[in-house]
Copies of this chain bind each other. A is one copy, B any other.
Amino acid sequence: MTRKVKNIGVLTSGGDAPGMNAAIRSVVRSCTYYNLQCFGIHKGYEGLIEGDIRELNARSVRNIINKGGTFLKSARSQEFRTPEGRKKAYDNLVKYGIDGLVVIGGDGSFTGALKLSEEYGFPVVGIPGTIDNDINGTDYTIGYDTALNTVVDAIDKIRDTASSHNRLFLIEVMGRDAGDIALNAGIGAGAEEILIPEEDMGVDRLIESLKRSKKSGKTSSIIVVAEGDKSGKNIFELGEYVEEHLKGYEVRVSVLGHIQRGGAPSCYDRVLASKLGVGAVEALLAGKTEVMIGVVHKNITEVPLRTALEKKKYKHDKLIKVADITSI
């Protein structure tokens, strides 16, 4: 028999991503729509342990759909990794009468949610919110599309300078394990080369390719490098190596860094977040637990949280070919 949910808690956890506010707003207003109470938990699991919890209504979330970051704040909690921490968290959920929890974040956040469910049978639903698009079982995560636009916009600016000076730029973008941002933003920004974690190009082939590119008439070059690239060098070492082995270019390095996490969310991320928020509340209402609400081919889907935590398999082959062709 389905336990009827009445009071839903919502938190954001892990790195923030543009569109998290739109997701919170959607969870809150879905609660209003279905006559549920909604509680906002501040600072992720840390705030759950501390009892930093406030009731939210439809008006509490006005004017936030277009704001980056998360107004509920986010944090990484060491204490929640201990049974004692989780006990306190659970006690607070009970204290506020919360009987269903929506967790917006990435895999660390989902692991925490699973623990709550396993140890206390507490109903939990996840929403994928991370710019890295590295969650299994969903085509897109909230914030990824915005991050791509931010990266492309930054590289457009750098290209102004690169082509004014016949320079070669190495630009580091986010992506420790996943090359999605590097690959897509690299194609979108017209990068000459793209280094991703999933493939080891080898620095020598990189140099060869850049030489060909120069010979073909290119007077400036952009190389997009994912944080977790396999060159075996950090981006500054890589820059020096390229400068040494490739004559005729001034080499410059730029690390885009934290600007990639912020900014007004794109329309896509706002709509995605709105859909997933509705889906999460409806899943809890339907008695579901231990699921992530994702999107597959435009459709909202429910995926077991354990599946979401599996390593995502990337099929970058076709995109790599598009990158090769269009950077010719």
Residues of A within 8 A of B (CB): 12, 16, 18, 20, 25-26, 29-30, 32-33, 43, 58-59, 62-63, 65-70, 73-75, 139, 145, 148-154, 156-161, 163-166, 169, 184-185, 187-190, 216-218, 252, 254-259, 261-264, 266-268, 270-271, 274-275, 277-278, 296-298, 300, 318-319, 321-322, 324-328
Contact = CB atoms under 8 A, between A and B. Distances in A.
Contacts of A62: 218
B74 A164 contact: yes
B271 A188 contact: yes
Nearest to A18: B160
16 contacts: A26-B325, A30-B326, A59-B217, A65-B188, A65-B190, A66-B189, A139-B298, A150-B157, A151-B267, A157-B261, A157-B262, A161-B258, A161-B262, A184-B271, A189-B270, A271-B319
A266 B185 CA distance: 10
A189 to B, nearest CB: 7
Contacts of A145: 267-268
B252 A163 contact: no
A267 B184 CA distance: 7
Nearest to A323: B274
Given A75-B165, A262-B161, A275 B322 contact: yes
Given A69-B163, A156-B262, A270 B33 contact: no
Contact of A148 (B30, B156, B267, B319): B267
A278 B160 contact: no
Nearest to A151: B267
Given A65-B189, A65-B190, A165-B16, A160 B263 contact: yes
Binding site secondary structure of chain A: helix
Which interface residue of A16, A190, A324 has the most chain B CB atoms within 10 A?
A190
Contacts of A268: 145, 148, 188, 268
Nearest to A264: B156
A45 to B, nearest CB: 14
Contacts of A157: 68, 150, 258-259, 261-263
Contacts of A275: 318-319, 322
A324 to B, nearest CB: 8
Nearest to A152: B267
A149 B267 contact: yes
Contacts of A254: 257-259
Contacts of A300: 318
**Nearest 10 Cβ contacts at the A-B interface:** A157-B262, A68-B160, A160-B262, A69-B160, A148-B267, A188-B267, A69-B164, A188-B270, A297-B297, A16-B164
